[in-house]
Amino acid sequence: MLPESIASLPKAELHLHLEGSMQPPTVCELTARHGITVTEQEVRRRYAYRNFGDFLETFKWVTSFLRDPQDFALIARHLAEYLLSQRVVYAEVTISVGVMLLRQQRVEDNFASILAAVEPFVRRGLRINWIFDAVRQFGAEAASRVVDAARQCASPSIIAFGIGGDELSVPTKDLRRVYDQAATAGLHRLIHAGEVGGPEKIREAVELLGAERIGHGIAAIHDRDLMDLLADRRIPLEICPHSNICTGALALQLGRLRAGMEHHPLPSLFRNGIPIVLSTDDPAMFHTTLLQEYQHASDLGMTGNELRQLAQMSFDFAFERQHSQVQADLRVDRQHGTS
């Protein structure tokens, strides 16, 4: 069992999708709101995947029940309760704004409802900032509209812009203009890369897009020079071990039919000096919790001191530390007409 000295530590989580936190009972509550009957058994059956494509289809299915601001408020409250149960005091939560826009929803209304839902949890010791996320396979123009939505919401709690989805679908160079727009808007930049793609996807994200954190990035194990670059530049990998097992991403990277937790490269990446942000990705959809991810790290042979370093890194590489200064610099630039 995870030592109490580790389990009780205050924690931060930085790679966590709001929509992926919906437990089966929550999904059933949502469907009932819209006159649809779905059993918990069906949800659990869908929350099992043979590969990454299966997961994307399930994500599309479950998010189809998020239809109005009240739906988003419900899942935001449930997520906040979950985070407190994991001793999380700070989180940067990803919202699939690209999906909202595809479904022609009003992002401002949904986001306002989310903020109102989690506001009471501040008094209980939980702080949340938000990452507006685009879907790579929707293309660069659709991603640009996500940046526009972040501008329109104009909330200081929108801290970063990211892109998830199928990393093999759109060339990285085609996304460069969008990431420039995000930087101009004062948003930090991250992207899913090296999850099912090769190490070149991680290098492109860093060198072409200026990515400050990499979602997953397990493909780095194939490129020693890339690992050195990430370590030297202090660019963290947001590692989500159980997600990599459930989607088949780890098996794909290792060229195996199946891969178990014992094969995960988390300790190797960490011991090569790469900053690691341990996270859950989609905790409900991957049947995990943040404490279980720390347990996995322990089972992989990471020492108590290393686990404490992991917990500290999640605070050290949070964007909140840098965000207020970025916003202040932008205000100064605009006053002088240099932006």
Q: Answer yes or no: are the C-beta atoms of 63 and 95 closer than 8 Å.
A: no
Q: What is the pLDDT of residues 100-127, one digit of tens each?
A: 999 999 999 999 999 999 999 999 999 9
3 state SS of 332? helix
Q: CB count, 10 Å around CB of 95?
A: 24
Average pLDDT score over residue span 25-42: 93
Q: What angle in degrees, to the nearest 10, is found between the helix axes of 107-118 and 140-153?
A: 50
3 state SS of 100? helix
Q: Answer yes or no: are the C-beta atoms of 295 and 264 closer than 8 Å.
A: no
Which amino acid, one-letter code, is at 88? V
Residue (of 86, 231, 225) closest to 214 by Cα position: 231
How many angstroms separate the CA atoms of 13 and 31, rounded?
Answer: 28
Asked if pLDDT for residue 146 goes beyond 90, the answer is yes
Q: Give the global pTM.
A: 0.91
Average pLDDT score over residue span 78-107: 96
**Domain 4-335 is found in CATH 3.20.20.140:** yes
- In the chain, the largest separation of any two C-alpha atoms, in whole Å, equals 59
Average pLDDT score over residue span 206-228: 98
**The dihedral of CA 93, 29, 291, 46: what is its sign?**
negative
**The dihedral of CA 48, 49, 52, 55: what is its sign?**
negative
Q: What angle in degrees, to the nearest 10, is found between the helix axes of 199-209 and 224-233?
A: 40
Asked if pLDDT for residue 323 goes beyond 80, the answer is no
Average pLDDT score over residue span 150-156: 96
How many angstroms separate the CA atoms of 97 and 106, rounded?
Answer: 10
pLDDT at 321: 63
How many angstroms separate the CA atoms of 231 and 10, rounded?
Answer: 25
Average pLDDT score over residue span 84-99: 96
Cβ-in-10-Å burial (0-12, 13-18, 19+) of 5 comes to exposed
Q: What is the pLDDT of residues 170-191, one digit of tens each?
A: 999 999 999 999 999 999 999 9
Q: Which two tokens stand for residue 91?
A: 């989180």
The secondary structure element, H or E, covering residue 253 is helix 249-254
pLDDT at 1: 79
Average pLDDT score over residue span 305-327: 80
Average pLDDT score over residue span 186-210: 97
Residue 126, CB half-sphere, CA atoms under 13 Å: how many?
24
Q: Among residues of the chain, what percentage have pLDDT more than 90? A: 90
How many angstroms separate the CA atoms of 269 and 272, rounded?
Answer: 5
